[in-house]
A and B are shown apart, each in its own frame.
Chain A
C-alpha cells in the first residue's frame, strides 16, 4: 500500500533483516531471571516446609498463631500455624508446622506441653515466658519412627525434663495424710527427685502420684525401699530441752517425701513400680516386716456403755495383734430395735483380713472371711472395750473369745455394715486404783516411827551417860585390884618361903636321922629299931600321905584359880552379852538401869570368894603337915635312943627313907605340883590383868559384849 512508497527501501531491508535476537531487547533477561529466582525461592520454600501436626489441648491460653513456637531442648523447631476449636467444642486443636529435620522423630511417643510461668514453693519456672509469652515444648526420643500428625497435649511438663535420666515410679498413699503433690523427694536432705500432682485412684480410696528419682540416685531404690512424708519441721522434747529442726524451706512449705532402703536384698526398682507412701518413718520401717495392708472389711459395733476415750483410729486388736481400726463413731437412737430411747454408740470398725492371715484376693475368698468371722462369733468371739493406755484413758477394741457368752451371731443384714456382737466393757478405773495406793502410802505411820527412833536414841544416850554404867569400869577395876591383892598378899607370897622352910626342916630331920643312925650304930638299938622303924615306916607313910595331900591341896587351889580363870570371866562375858541383849531388848526397863548395881554386887561376891580363898587354910595345912613331919622327926630322935637294937632294920629304913627322901628331892611331885599351882595362879592373874586392861582400853566393849 502506501507503506513501501513512504519508506526507503534500505530501511525496510534493514528492518526485515534483523534477527530475532536483535529485535528483542536483552533487557528481557532481567524479568526472566527475576521470575526464575522467584520460582526457585517458592519451590525451595515449599520443599522445606515441614509437616503440619495437630496437638489437642484443653485450652489455648497464651498460644498465638505464627508467634508461639515449638521448642525441643530450647531450640525452635516449629511455629503454631493455627488455633481452632474442635468440632465437639471440648478441646482446642493447635496446628504446628514443624521443621523437616525433626518430622521423622515426632512419632507416637512424642509428648507436648505448654510452658507457662509457674510460681510454687519450690521456685519459679518458665520465667522467660512471662515476657515472651508461652511456648510449646515437645519431647521425643532419638529414634526415628512413623510420623504422626495428631497428638494429645499434656497439661503439665513431664517430671523428667527432656534429656534427663531417672526412675519413674508411682507412689500410693496408705496413711491418713495421703500425698502432697508437687513436692521434692529428699534423701539425706538432698533433693533427689520430685513428685508430681497427686490424683485419686480409680477405687476412690487411695491417692496416687507419679514420682521420679533422678539418676544416679535411682539406684538407691529397691524393692525394700520405703517412702514416708516429712513435714520439714520437727519438734521434740528431751532431757536437753526442746529442739526444733527445720528441713529445707521448700519442704517446709510444700512438704516433702524421703525414703530409705532399710533392708538389703531387694532387687532394683523399675520404671512404673508402685511404692507405698507412709505417714511417718516408724510406720514405714515397721511395714518392712509387716504384710501390706490389703482391703478392709467394715463392720458395725454397738456399745451400750460409756465409751469416753474411744476415738477414731483406735486399734482393734485380736490377742494383742492389731487387725483393724475404728474408723467412725456416732450415736444411735433406735427405740424400735432396742426397746428404749437410750443413746447407744455405733462404731465402725475396719478389719483387715490380711492381718488375720486371711486372703482377700477375690470375692469368693472374701466370703470366706465372713464365714470365718461367723464361726468365730458362734464360738464366743465378741468385741470388747478395754483400756489402751492407763495414762491417757484411751480405749481400744479387743476381739476376745468369751466362754459362756450369751449367744449372738454376726448380723450380716446390718445397715450399712454387718453388725459384730459386743461384750460388756472391761475397764479399769485407773484413777481410783492409783488413789488407793497413794492413800496407803499416806497412811504409813512415818511420824510415829521417827518418834520411836528419836526416843530410842534418847534412851540409849541416857543409859550410856548414867552413873551406874559409868561406874561399871570402876567396879571392875576394883575387882581386879582385889585379885591383884590376893596374888600379891603376904601369905600367898610366903608359900614358897614356907616350902623352903619345910625343906630346910626336912633337911634338918635328915641330919637328925643321920645322928640317930650314928647313935643306933653305937647303941645297937636294933631291936628297938625294928619296932621303931615299923612305926617310922608307918609314920613315913603317913608323912607321905600328908605330903601327898599338899599337891591335892594345890590342885584344889589350882582348880579354884582355873575356875577363877575361866568360869567367872566367861560368865561375866556371858552376863555382859546377855546384858547387852537385855539392853537392846529392854533398855528402857528399870531393871536395866539396876543392872550395873547387880553387877557390882556380883563383883563384890567375887571379891568375897577371893577373900575366903585368901583366908582358906591352905598354908595352915602345909604348916600343919610340916609340923607333923617335925613331930615325926622328934619321934625318930626319941627312937634313936634305942639305936643299937634297931641297926638291922636301919638299912631298910634308910632305904625307905632314901626312897622317901628321893621323892622329896629334886623334881618331887610336890615341887612340880606347887610349881603348877603357882603357874596357874600366875596365869589367872595375867588373865584378869588382860581383862582389866581391855576394859580400860575399850570400855564400850563391856556394853557391846566384845
Chain B
C-alpha cells in the first residue's frame, strides 16, 4: 500500500496511453483517435462500470434457470430422467462418487458463484468498498479472467455426452434448457470481467489523484 502512494499514474501526470498500441498522448487528446493506430483514446472508460454491472446482471439472471432447469435429459429404455446440476451432483454423491460430484459442484457452482462475487467485489471496490490492496485485487481480476473460460467445462461435457450417447432406443442424452442458460451465464460473466477497466483499481489509491472517477459526486462524498 505504501509504495502505491508514491506511484504516479499516467493520468495524474497528465498523459494517457493508447490502449491498443501504447502510444502516449497528452491528456488533452482524450476522445481523439490515436494518431498511430486510430484507436479511440480514453484515459479511463467512463462506462466501464455500467457494462460490468449490465453483463453481470444478465449473467446472474441466466444462472438462475441454469440451476433450476435440468441440465441433462437422460433417456434409457426404462426411464427418462432430467437432472439439474445440483441434483445430479447430489445423486453422484449418493452413489459414492464424491470426487466427480466435487468436480461438478466446483466447476458448475463454486466457480461461477465465485466469479459473480469476485466481479461484484471488484466493481464495488472501485467505489472504495473493501480494504483489499490494489495489487491483490489485480491478481483477483487476472484470476477471474483466466478461470472464466474453464467454466464452460460443464457445457463442454454436456455437448460431448449428447453427441456420444445417442443409442437410439436404448439410451440417449440430450442437453436440457439449463445447458443453454448456463453457457449464456458463463459468457455474460466473462463479458462482465472483460468490461472491467482494471486501471480503475489503481485510481482509488491516493488522494492526490484528481478526477480519477467518472462520477464526481461519488468522489466528493468519499472525500470527507
Contact = CB atoms under 8 A, between A and B. Distances in A.
B211 interface: yes
Contacts of A131: 77-79
B129 interface: no
Contacts of B210: 6-7
B61 A25 contact: no
A28 B57 CA distance: 9
Interface of A: 1, 3, 6-8, 11, 14-15, 23-25, 27-28, 30-31, 34-35, 38, 131-132
A27 B195 contact: yes
A632 B213 CA distance: 224
Interface string B57-94: 11001100100000000000111000000000000000
B187 to A, nearest CB: 11
Given A7-B210, A11-B211, A25 B50 contact: yes
A14 B211 CA distance: 14
A35 B50 CA distance: 17
A296 B79 CA distance: 59
Nearest to A66: B82
Given A24-B50, A25-B50, A28-B54, A34 B216 contact: no
Nearest to A3: B216
Interface residues of B, number: 22
B51 interface: yes
A414 to B, nearest CB: 67
B55 A30 contact: yes
If over half of B's interface residues share one DSSP class (helix, strand or loop), that class is named, otherwise mixed; here it is helix
Nearest to B61: A34
A3 B213 CA distance: 12
B170 to A, nearest CB: 12
A30 B58 contact: yes
A7 B211 contact: yes
A27 B61 contact: no
B216 A31 contact: no
B36 interface: no
B220 interface: yes
A27 B54 contact: yes
B51 A25 contact: yes
A164 to B, nearest CB: 29
A233 to B, nearest CB: 40
B64 to A, nearest CB: 9
Contacts of B211: 6-7, 11
Contacts of B58: 30-31, 34
B26 to A, nearest CB: 12
Interface string B182-224: 0000001000000100000000000000110000100010000
B20 interface: no
Contacts of B188: 30
B39 interface: no
B149 interface: no
18 contacts: A1-B220, A3-B216, A7-B210, A7-B211, A7-B216, A8-B28, A24-B47, A25-B50, A27-B50, A27-B195, A30-B54, A30-B58, A34-B61, A35-B61, A38-B65, A131-B77, A131-B79, A132-B78
Contacts of A28: 50, 54
Nearest to B62: A34
B78 A27 contact: no
Contact of A31 (B54, B78, B79): B54
B134 to A, nearest CB: 22
A31 B61 contact: yes
B103 to A, nearest CB: 28
Given A6-B211, A25-B50, A131-B77, 8 more contacts: A15-B216, A23-B46, A24-B47, A25-B51, A30-B54, A30-B188, A31-B58, A38-B61
Contacts of A23: 46-47
Contacts of A25: 47, 50-51, 54
Contacts of B216: 3, 7, 15
Contacts of B77: 131
A395 to B, nearest CB: 66
Contact of B51 (A6, A15, A27): A27
A15 B215 CA distance: 10
B20 to A, nearest CB: 20
Contacts of A38: 61, 65
Nearest to A128: B78
A370 B57 CA distance: 95
Interface string B109-134: 00000000000000000000000000
Which interface residue of B51, B58, B195 has the most chain A CB atoms within 10 A?
B58
A7 B65 CA distance: 47
Given A6-B211, A11-B211, A31 B57 contact: yes
A15 B213 CA distance: 12
Contacts of A8: 28
Nearest to B57: A31
A298 B39 CA distance: 115
Contacts of B51: 25, 27
Contacts of B65: 38
Nearest to B45: A25
B61 to A, nearest CB: 5
Contacts of A6: 210-211
A34 B46 CA distance: 24
Which interface residue of B50, B54, B57, B210 has the most chain A CB atoms within 10 A?
B54
Contacts of B78: 131-132
A3 B218 CA distance: 12
Contacts of B79: 131-132
Nearest to A131: B78
Which are the 7 A-B pairs with shortest beta-carbon distances? A131-B78, A25-B50, A27-B54, A25-B47, A31-B57, A6-B210, A31-B58
Contacts of B31: 14
A132 B188 CA distance: 40
